[in-house]
């Protein structure tokens, strides 16, 4: 097994067994961003070999709120698989995660492939629909602490996601109010503008970054644009709801 493959195995096992692991960069400070994306690819390949199916990509660290929360100031992307999808209105089991957090997102459903350097108009032309969404992020690292290479290798913390009803994408989504509620209490408030000033910019960045990784966004893919607010930690028994102005709401419950 290659060196990067053995690091991928460590992260895959941490996710699979739900046991936090030390940051890779503590022992391997020389790891580059390119190494980290290769570790991510190898780690997700292990899931695909177990029967999971790729269903899209997530962008991460596309808002100032998220960068400040985790102390990393560059965008990253990760891969979504069918096993990570939580049914709208359904529940997640805490036992399946290490120390999960939740964040409001906007999701795009793609009608056509998208790759390389594209304009916002070209990105919009490849979108079939847009929806309110939430991402469950669950760093596989101890204390949810990481450097850029660590978080990229760890699939940009992506662990689960839930998507609400799909809407016509040909509407102004540049500055929509966003509310995150836990048990009916508003815990975070934000705007879709927090995502690079316009969520479509995240899709433009995703097209470029995924291409740099030798892949492309495909028709039928779901693309998560990135957390809009800081992400609160989940606890047993909570009811979580995100509402995005004009797009609707999306909810989950947290079980043991
Ligand atoms: O919060 C984190 O774990 C950093 C990566 C994911 C951030 C995001 O999805 O916006
Ligand atoms: Mg996110």
Q: Is 227 in the pocket of ligand 1 (CB under 6 A)?
A: yes
In this model, does residue 2 exceed pLDDT 90?
no
Q: What is the pLDDT of residue 76?
A: 97
Strand bridging mode 76-81 / 91-93:
unpaired
Which residue's entry shows tokens 């000033």? 197
CB of 199 sitting under 6 A from ligand 1? no
Helix, strand, coil fractions of the chain, as percent rounded to 5: 35, 30, 35
Nearest CA to 212 among 117, 108, 119?
117
CATH number of domain containing 22: 3.90.850.10
pLDDT digits (tens, 9 = 90+) for 28-50: 999 999 999 999 999 999 999 99
How far does CA 156 lie from the centroid of its chain?
A: 7
Higher pLDDT pick, 73 / 135: 135
Residues in the chain: 256
178 lines ligand 1 (CB under 6 A): no
Q: 52-68 pLDDT, tens per residue?
A: 999 999 999 999 888 99
* Domain count of the fold of the chain: 1
135 close to ligand 1 (CB < 6 Angstrom): yes
Percent of the chain with pLDDT over 90: 97
Q: Using one digit for the tens of pLDDT, what is the confidence trace for 134-188?
A: 999 999 999 999 999 999 999 999 999 999 999 999 999 999 999 999 999 999 9
Q: In this predicted model, what pLDDT tens digit does every residue of 74-100 receive, in sequence order?
A: 999 999 999 999 999 999 999 999 999
Distance 101 CA to ligand 2 centre (A): 10
Host domain of residue 41: 3-254
CB of 59 closer than 8 Å to CB of 75: yes
DSSP 158-221: EEEEEE---B-SSS--TT-EEEEEETTEEEEEEEGGGTTTSHHHHHHHHHHHHHHTT--B-TT-
* DSSP assigned state of 233: B
Which residue from 65, 137, 242 has its CB within 8 A of the most atoms of ligand 1, so it is best to mutate? 137
pLDDT at 1 over 80: no
Q: How far is the CA of 161 from the centre of ligand 2 (A)?
A: 9
């Amino acid at each position: 097994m290659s060196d990067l493959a053995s690091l991928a195995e460590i992260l895959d096992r941490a996710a699979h067994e739900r046991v936090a692991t030390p940051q890779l960069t503590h022992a391997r400070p020389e790891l580059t961003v390119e190494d980290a994306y290769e570790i991510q690819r190898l780690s997700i390949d292990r899931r695909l070999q177990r029967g999971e199916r790729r269903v899209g990509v997530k962008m991460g660290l596309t808002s100032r709120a998220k960068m400040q929360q985790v102390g990393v100031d560059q965008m990253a992307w990760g891969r979504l698989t069918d096993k990570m999808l939580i049914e709208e209105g359904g529940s997640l089991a805490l036992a399946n995660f290490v120390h999960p957090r939740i964040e409001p997102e906007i999701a795009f459903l793609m009608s056509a492939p998208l790759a390389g350097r594209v304009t916002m108009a070209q990105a919009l032309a490849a979108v079939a629909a847009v929806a309110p969404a939430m991402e469950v992020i669950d760093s596989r690292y101890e204390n949810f602490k990481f450097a850029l290479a660590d978080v990229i290798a760890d699939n940009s913390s992506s662990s689960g996601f839930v998507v609400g009803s799909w809407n016509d994408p040909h509407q102004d989504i540049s500055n929509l109010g966003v509310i995150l509620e836990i048990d009916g209490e508003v815990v975070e408030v934000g705007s879709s503008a927090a995502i690079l000033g316009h969520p479509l910019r995240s899709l433009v960045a995703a097209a470029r970054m995924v291409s740099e990784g030798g892949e492309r966004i495909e028709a039928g893919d779901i693309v998560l644009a990135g957390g809009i607010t800081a992400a609160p930690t989940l606890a047993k028994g909570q009811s979580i709801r995100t509402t995005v102005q004009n797009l609707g709401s999306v909810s989950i419950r947290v079980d043991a």
